[in-house]
Structure 1
């Protein structure tokens, strides 16, 4: 198996930009390497771009996306075009369907697709910054776990930093404290006792506190059930007179007593198909 940069064919011998063996690029499943789906409605752009940057570094593929090579001059190189097509397929497999239909165009090379996808999230920076700020500062824990809530805040902060917004650790901590549920009130008041508090430290402190509160609720419920059982069950029902015999209703044809509108109803509405899945 050839190592990155080694010659694997006559075309590679004449190619000063020789990259990895195309077999090494075709074989890997991209989803374990880019385990996120790029979508308009979720804050995944920063993570998606970061994972692909690592893929480019691992397989020496930057020349396909940094415009250092004119791809029109490489059309006769089978290995280059094979790797280029594989990269485009990886992009399409890790974006939502609506993004796929937004950027897909016949004949695009890797650089064109990469530029389009990044442009969708960076060209309208002001609008996207305003949207992310509103979502970040308006975040509340609600039904989320501490881990889920902290993850959501961290993703939003990373997206804002990627747009040039300064999100300090102090701001991240104050937003976290303001948004956690009221039942964490005592724990929140103790956060000032943590020496040199950081976002990971506060998260690690709140996680066992969340488990403790869940256990307390479980014990309270169990105690209430035991107390109800010790008092005895509900009194038995008082004897009643035997019920009068019931006779079946007279046979009638269906529709005799139904409103006429029943017979003119249309077919039930069909659920709208989701367009958020990855894979084009």
Structure 2
């Protein structure tokens, strides 16, 4: 067991653990505060592959901010580093070399999980994680209404044309998901009606069958019906 005594992943010397559960020093009373989880050592953080924790890349052209943010926020929570984005650093932290190294690790993760178009906006010399995080948040939240206008226009005007049912419905669903991500969700009934509106004329006989169903079809059952018609 000697090789585990100073394992940095545990952050605890195994030799310092209580020798017996019955030892008086190991008893826990209701007044004993819960132990605070510590962040892993810097040597461990420097080996983290951000791609394995945040599998999406944040881009201006792809409205995936909410998805990316969920992954990155959860990732920081797993390493107990959420304080770096939740509050501005104190003067003491800014002058603490150990804290600064951790902050730079997070900045490196940020830069490796965002596209070049976003990096060009947020890249600032000597910036802290908190500052970069705020710039990213403001950039995507401030542009939400502008992006929603364009997404809504494309969603409402999309027609099937030469696309097959899989391509057509896939694009509609992607647009609906993008609208949801910018705070403008589209209801199931509206998605179905919009899908039927843009259908090729060769599917006109399928429209009454879908609209007559009670309760109304949701998006994926209506899509399945159209796939059967196509085949």
2:71 aligned residue (51, 54, 76):
51
Q: Find the structure with the greater CA-based Rg.
A: 1
The alpha-carbon distance between structure 1 residues 165 and 80, as it changes in their structure 2 partners (threshold 3 A), is same
Segments of structure 2 that go 5 or more residues without pairing to the other structure are 1-6, 14-35
1:65 aligned residue (85, 95, 98):
85
Partners of 2:199 and 2:12 lie apart in 1 by 57
Segments of structure 1 that go 5 or more residues without pairing to the other structure are 9-15, 213-280
User: What residue in structure 1 maps to residue 175 of structure 2?
Assistant: 156
The alpha-carbon distance between structure 1 residues 65 and 167, as it changes in their structure 2 partners (threshold 3 A), is same
TM-score (structure 2 length as normaliser): 0.67
Partners of 2:85 and 2:155 lie apart in 1 by 31
SS state of the match for residue 114, structure 1? helix
After TM superposition, give the deviation of residue 150 of structure 1 in Å: 4.1
Partners of 1:7 and 1:128 lie apart in 2 by 49
Contact map agreement 2:38 2:80 (CA 8 A) in 1: no
C-alpha RMSD of matched pairs (Å): 3.4
2:217 aligned residue (170, 175, 197):
197
The alpha-carbon distance between structure 1 residues 97 and 187, as it changes in their structure 2 partners (threshold 3 A), is same
The alpha-carbon distance between structure 1 residues 72 and 155, as it changes in their structure 2 partners (threshold 3 A), is farther
Q: How many residues align?
A: 202
Partners of 2:75 and 2:49 lie apart in 1 by 12
Contact map agreement 2:46 2:105 (CA 8 A) in 1: yes
Contact map agreement 2:177 2:185 (CA 8 A) in 1: no
TM-score (structure 1 length as normaliser): 0.57
Which structure has more RCO (C-alpha within 8 Å, separation ≥ 6)? Answer: 1
User: What residue in structure 1 maps to residue 128 of structure 2?
Assistant: 109
Does residue 41 in structure 1 map to residue 52 in structure 2?
no
After TM superposition, give the deviation of residue 110 of structure 1 in Å: 1.2
